[in-house]
Amino acid sequence: MHRERRRASHTVRNTILIVIAVILLGGIFYGVRKYQNVKNAVDSTYSSAGIKKQRNTADLVANKKPISILLMGTDTGALGRSYKGRTDSMMVVTINPKTNKTTITSIPRDLGVTIPGYEEKSPSKINAAYAFGKAGTAIRAVQSVFNIPIDYYVLVNMGGMQKVVDEVGGVDITPTLSFTYDGYTFKKGVKTHMDGKKALAYSRMRYDDPQNDYGRQTRQRAVLTAILGKSSSISALLNKDFIDSIANETQTDFTFGNLVDLAKNYRAASKNIEETHAQGSGQMVNGQSMEIVSHTELQRVTDFIRKGLGLKHAETGTAALSANGAANVSNSQVESENINAGN
């Protein structure tokens, strides 16, 4: 059973963009020097995906067209340019300034796939794509699973969220279930004030959640939504040391200019958000427990994402595993020409 539900919520994207959007006003309210400091910090997060994108991404943003972003979260320390670990969470966000809508689609971290360029290591879990070939491989994997274009990526260390929570003075969250994790106890339905460490613990627990990773994704989004609810304290984020610390926790192929355009032209889309996830079921594949998503479900998610981008209908991709452990191959080939700005 699936529900596409509207929420006044945001995702990891906003942990970065809400800071950027506010600081873009720095030239007016905080002076040119502060603006330049933030630009330098943002520039330090840039890391090319290392592949040719399916669409002209700079043109899309400059011309206020719908874009997609692959969000990847990890539990590592500082990322550095050499980081090649697995991603703990993956989400596809579409932002459509024409319809003023944003969509958020969570991808199971254990989704069984054939990773493009690493067929000899497949079948693999999709969270291994980044470890195999960094951002470019992760993008290609998601594109191949759903037959969608990925225009940009953002990789965030979840530890960076801890710093944001502390910087805004903590957050208030009402847990959706009771559990104990990392020395903290959470009670269902009891509004709780959390500092950075406690909020991170709340968002990290996985195995004691009846919904497993699906439940963890929900709690991560709840923490991020609570951060954004502290907008009155956003001025606390406007200092160079803090921005630099977040920069060390983030990698992206957004340029500062891209983010300027997003902050100016795409913010209205965040007021109308639709959210869903790709639901799978566990299956042992070559000795590994993987999430297998049916072809029908893959098609539903493909339709959801492509609609968010204003693209016409297309068959879902072929990279995900079927119930028998083989790739989900449809009767028609996934055609790259179907994935362009005009469709």
Each residue's pLDDT expressed in tens, for the chain with a length of 343 residues: 444 444 333 334 344 444 444 443 333 344 555 667 667 777 777 889 999 999 999 899 989 999 999 988 876 654 554 556 788 888 898 999 999 988 888 899 899 999 999 999 989 999 999 999 999 999 999 999 999 999 999 887 776 777 778 877 888 999 989 999 999 999 999 999 999 899 989 988 878 888 877 788 778 777 766 765 564 444 455 455 665 666 667 788 988 788 778 877 887 776 777 888 899 998 998 888 899 999 999 999 999 999 999 999 999 999 999 865 566 644 333 334 344 434 4
The full 3-state SS of the chain, as one line of letters, equals CCCCEECCCCCHHHHHHHHHHHHCCHHHHCCHHHHHHHHHHHHCCECCCCCCCCCCHHHHHHCCCCEEEEEEEECCCCCCCCCCCCCCEEEEEEEECCCCEEEEEEECCCEEECCCCCHHHCCEEHHHHHHHHHHHHHHHHHHHHHCCCCCEEEEEEHHHHHHHHHHCCCEEECCCCCEEECCEEECCCCCEEECHHHHHHHHHCCCCCCCHHHHHHHHHHHHHHHHHCCHHHHHHHCCHHHHHHHHCCEEECCCHHHHHHHHHHCHHHHHCEEEEECCCEEEEECCEEEEECCHHHHHHHHHHHHHHCCCCCCCCCCCEECCCCCECCCCCCCCHHHCCCCC
Q: Which pTM does this prediction carry?
A: 0.78
